[in-house]
Structure 1
Amino acid sequence: MQTKLMHVRVNVKDLILAREWYTNNLGFKVSAIYPPDKPNYIHFEHSGGAIFAIMEDENYPSHGRFNFNVSDVDNLWNQLKDKVEVVEELFSTPYGTRKFTIRDIDGNELGFVQDN
């Protein structure tokens, strides 16, 4: 079976703090907030890939790693390395990519990868 990934969500402890972390540190832009009367879910803008979302949930972190493909991983590394918790510093992989991994404020691992 072939599939196309459409949506990825991580659980967070505090929706407002997490939104601020993702928008201030990573530059993500909020696309939607649900439900309008008492929000517990936010998803961010995307450009044709899977939707990335956060949801306030008592079962956090999500215990996974989410890799984002980026066009300039070195520049992004220089912007983030002193502002976030680093899991893996920037390195070149044996399979032709460069990447680094950070942890958000709820312990979710976020990787940023550039194809060479």
Structure 2
Amino acid sequence: MQMKLGHVKLGVSDIKRSVEWYTQVLGFEVDSFTPKDEPTYYDFKGTGATFSIGQAEHSGIYHGGRTNFEVEDVDGLWESLKGNATVVESIWDTPWGTRKFTIADPDGNELGFSKQV
């Protein structure tokens, strides 16, 4: 059976801080949010599978996760982000044929960025 990733959601402890971080640091653009009056969930545009963040209901016990994105210019993105984000894994060439790095968002969710080489 083949599976295709359709949606990833990361729980965050402070939705306003996280939306600001994803839009200002990573340059993501908000696609939609809910509820309208006081949003606790945001989807972002142009990320392939739907990528979203949501206010964690029990942020004190939230343990985070890792999401990997394929990008065209991994070295250029590394240069623009390494001083503006918490680095989990510096850029390197993997034994499985990618060049990648990993950063963390304000809640410690790990975001990997890679390119096939």
| TM-score, scaled to structure 2 | 0.92
Q: CA deviation at 1:12?
A: 0.5
AA of the residue aligned to 1:65: R
The Cα offsets for residues 64-104 of structure 1, whole Å up to 9 and x where unpaired, read as 21000000000000000011100000000011110000010
Give aligned pairs, total: 115
Q: CA deviation at 1:57?
A: 1.1
AA of the residue aligned to 1:34: T
How many percent identity over aligned positions? 50
- Give SS of 1:75's match: helix
Does the aligned pair in 2 maintain the 1:10–1:62 contact within 8 Å? no
Q: Separation in 1 of the partners of 2:58 and 2:3?
A: 27
Q: Separation in 2 of the partners of 1:6 and 1:24?
A: 25
Residue matched to 1:17:
17
Aligned-residue CA RMSD (Å): 1.3
Runs of 4+ residues over 2 Å off in structure 1: 58-63
Q: Is structure 2 residue 79 aligned with structure 1 residue 55?
A: no
Q: Please, which runs of 5 or more residues in structure 1 have no aligned partner?
A: none
- Give SS of 1:26's match: coil
Residue matched to 1:34:
34
Residue matched to 1:98:
99
The Cα offsets for residues 28-50 of structure 1, whole Å up to 9 and x where unpaired, read as 00000111122100000025x21
Q: Separation in 1 of the partners of 2:35 and 2:13?
A: 17
Residue matched to 1:5:
5
Does the aligned pair in 2 maintain the 1:11–1:59 contact within 8 Å? no
Q: CA deviation at 1:62?
A: 4.9
Q: CA deviation at 1:23?
A: 0.5
AA of the residue aligned to 2:26: L
Change (3 A) 1:59 1:71: farther
Residue matched to 1:111:
112
Q: CA deviation at 1:58?
A: 3.3
